[in-house]
Amino acid sequence: MRYRTLGTSGTVVSELALGTMTFGAETDETESCAILDRYVDGGGTFVDTADVYAGGRSEEIIGRWMKADPGRADRIVLTSKARFPTSDDPNDVGVSRRHLARALDASLRRLGVDYIDLYQLHAWEQVTPVEESLRFLDDAIRAGKIGYYGFSNYTGWQIATAAGVAARHGWAPPVTLQPQYNLLSRGIELEIVDAASETGLGILPWSPLAGGWLTGKYQRGVLPTTGNRYAKPQDQAAREERDRDDRVWEILDVLARVADSHSATQGQIALAWLLSRPIVTSVILGARTLDQLTQNLPASEIELSDTEREELDRVSAPRFDEYPYSGWARQDRHRPLEGGR
């Protein structure tokens, strides 16, 4: 396992993070603790959760695991998130000072700690003034309840707005962004990656395997009936849409070839590609079972060649074919400086 700094902060985290959304829901406590043990044994130090994961049970499981072995827990850089509803109370949702204060205290109780290393706003919210949310986060840092803060699922303008407000008031800056990012979903490269880079945010991709698509478990024209999320009737439309997309299968074909050349799994290569992206701090591995985690951890050891990266980049390239993301917005990225000017 290799390690990287958390955005522009001085804190170091493993380049593979452990996502715990399934803990307490699809994954029972015994299996969850076994996953945590294996992750730490493999050099992992970065655990991601949220107050809404399994209705708070994910945080509770992590808290009991840390309490059982404080020495191991000391190695963990812990992150949680808040924004989505936690009850029917109209104030138990959003990023107001009231909700964030209660949500943070509740997360601290469930985790059994008095400090969370990284606290992220789970999504943008239109009602609360940005100043109110960021002032709360700055106060929480000063109070010693959190070390850093970041955002999840923000657009480019939202990142720029929030970072600008923090700078203008002299408040602590954000350090991370947690977006969906993988070979099948590179839309954040339209402008979110640039916004994050300009404001010093390290990217923490979620869904790095695109819900299992990048593991090679799907076959064209074969719709699952049991055993995964796309077997559910409400998800069949999404499955069928991807099944009809020629670009998806071109990406999977290249991924399979590269995997064969490394004697690796397709999932490991998809993760290695993400790890090769300069903006990425740590890739969030969601593991429903111990076997899934064990299979994906070796991705940290894979080095893709320049040719392999370029081929994967080409076949999965996001589509910048509409104004303003065609030539207009991107033409000056590599502008030659003639005459030394």
Q: What is the 3-state secondary structure (H, E, C) of 214-282?
A: HHCCCCCCCCCCCCCHHHCHHHHHHHHHHHCCHHHHHHHHHHHHHHHHHCCCHHHHHHHHHHCCCCECC
Average pLDDT, integer, range 142-160: 98
Average pLDDT, integer, range 158-179: 98
Beta strands 283-286 and 3-5 are unpaired
Give the gyration radius of the chain's Cα atoms.
20
The pLDDT mean for the chain works out to 91
Residue 84: band (very low, low, confident or very high) from pLDDT cuts 50, 70, 90? very high
pTM, to two decimals: 0.91
Asked if 53 is an active-site residue, the reply is: yes
pLDDT exceeding 90 applies to what percent of the chain? 82
**Spatial CB neighbours of 333, under 8 Å, sequence gap ≥ 6:** none
pLDDT at residue 245, as a whole number = 75
Strand segments, DSSP code E, in 39-181 are 46-48, 77-82, 116-121, 146-152, 176-178
Record the tokens describing residue 62, joined without a space.
């992590």
Q: Would you tell me the crossing angle of helices 97-111 and 57-68 to the nearest 10 degrees?
A: 40
Q: Is the pLDDT of residue 149 over 50?
A: yes
Cis peptide leading into residue 324 (ω within 30°): yes
Q: What span, in angstroms and rounded, lies between the C-alpha atoms of 256 and 247?
A: 14
Q: Would you tell me the crossing angle of helices 266-275 and 246-262 to the nearest 10 degrees?
A: 90
Average pLDDT, integer, range 299-304: 97
For residues 143 and 110, the answer to whether their CB atoms sit within 8 Å is no
- Given 3, 39, 53, 230, the catalytic residue: 53
Q: What span, in angstroms and rounded, lies between the C-alpha atoms of 97 and 3?
A: 34
All structural domains of the chain, each given as residue ranges with its CATH number in brackets, are: 3-219+264-306 (3.20.20.100)
Closest to 117 in 3D by CA, of 21, 17, 184, 26: 17
Q: Is the pLDDT of residue 230 over 70?
A: no
Q: Is the pLDDT of residue 334 over 80?
A: no
For residues 174 and 140, the answer to whether their CB atoms sit within 8 Å is no
Which DSSP letter does residue 27 get? B
